[in-house]
Amino acid sequence: MIGRLNHVAIAVPDLTAAAEQYRTALGAKVGAPQDEPDHGVTVIFIELPNTKIELLYPLGENSPINGFLEKNPAGGIHHICYEVDDILAARDQLQKTGARVLGTGEPKIGAHGKPVLFLHPKDFNGCLVELEQV
């Protein structure tokens, strides 16, 4: 069902500093910040030859990233994102196996302009999983 790894998301306490570190220390191609109000985050994508890194920073005081950064003040890996061909079919199959889809269970539009869903970390070895339809 899952395709390629789309990105690894890292929550960061300082978005500008994190982006600059990837740009200067690692020589990576760093995108522009983009606000995602529906998800409560500002993101910057780091483009790699085989995938992307998504830097996450809280957008507003109700951001889900705030709680993560309170527990992990230096930041850390927040989630991984896999590509799927049909997000509704993937959701339905996962729910049949007992996996929990977060939120309403209906896809939202993600940072790439495509439908996304998140799966409960307790169902995937402690890892928050995002699915993105490609």
Residues with active-site annotation: 130
Q: Name which of 120, 74, 125, 80 is nearest 100 in CA terms.
A: 120
The Cβ of residue 33 has, within 10 Å, a number of other Cβ atoms equal to 15
Q: Name which of 127, 133, 117 is nearest 78 in CA terms.
A: 127
Phi-psi region of 98 (alpha: psi -120 to 50; beta: other; left: phi over 0): left
